[in-house]
Chain A
């Protein structure tokens, strides 16, 4: 092959190679690994009926407190896995003004109440009629947990079951952010 033909081959190969590399760069990506839009932003306000239906829990009532907002459902297996971690974090931090708020979603109320009876946990529980708060928080599935600092900023989000260590790290971070602000 003469020099001119080589030049033509190289000129044709460069854009093709660039395109292949561009497409190949996305092959290893996990389509579920989506960065949250809301971390470091102000948490959406909400006003939710409690699971028992006898009161309303609103973001305004929780102003000035760190909040662990946990979306869950009785049919969700990872929710059962993380229940102990939420319980332990609630026990450890409730005296320091941290609130764990469980928001039951995509569920039937009797099933949710049965779940609570079975697994225990004394933190406040709410429901999300129409999933409007879920959408406001950009929820993908269950469980999903947001840690909100006392100033109302979302400092962390976990898709899937949380661990006790993760909760401690993020709650401590949220409380520190209050101390430094």
Chain B
């Protein structure tokens, strides 16, 4: 039981840690092409639904990729470039919502559900009455004593 609780606690810690690591801002290192591709991969193509600017074959997406590369070359940080596109298109343009306010729900809900599930499971386990199916009834006890006596007499 204690081992199971410890394992679940480790799983929660790993989940939280992974969320924090995944949420860290891109430091903005790498070549111009790498940075431009990373930024484009996080932006939704305005013309074709559910494709990133990096993956879209549309002309507007291609020109957005060129605009991103130009901004990278001019010295803007990754965050500044993303902020420019959000300013023009709204948060809609981001394939992954920013981690603040209600947007935190997709990250928080699994952890909350895990913790709540663990709490409910612990509460149910604690409330469960001790198992008494190992107890011996009076009639069984009498029968056992009777058989033991029979054994002793036969030897």
Which residues of A are interface residues toward B (Cβ below 8 A)?
8, 11-12, 15, 19, 22, 31-32, 34-38, 105-106, 130-132, 134-141
Q: A36 — which chain B residues lie within 8 A by C-beta?
A: 90
7 sample A-B contacts, Cβ–Cβ < 8 Å, listed by A number: A15-B113, A31-B49, A130-B66, A130-B67, A131-B60, A139-B60, A141-B60
For window 92-140 of chain B, which residues contact chain A by CB distance below 8 Å? Answer: 92, 105, 109, 113, 116, 120, 124
**Which of under 10, 10 to 19, 20 to 34, or 35 or more describes the interface residues of B?**
20 to 34
Question: Mostly helix, strand, loop or mixed at chain B's interface?
Answer: helix
Q: A139 vs B88: C-alpha distance in the bound complex, in angstroms?
A: 9
A130 and B116 contacting across the interface, CB-CB below 8 Å: no
Q: Please report the number of residue pairs spanning A and B whose Cβ atoms sit closer than 8 angstroms.
A: 53
**Selected contact of A15 from candidates B59, B66, B116, CB within 8 Å:** B116
Assess the B63–A131 pair: CB atoms within 8 A.
Answer: yes
Are the C-beta atoms of B47 and A140 separated by less than 8 Å? yes
Known: A106-B60, A140-B47, A141-B46. A132 touches B67 (CB 8 A): yes
Bound: A140/B46 CA distance, A: 5
List of B residues within 8 angstroms of A22 by Cβ: 105
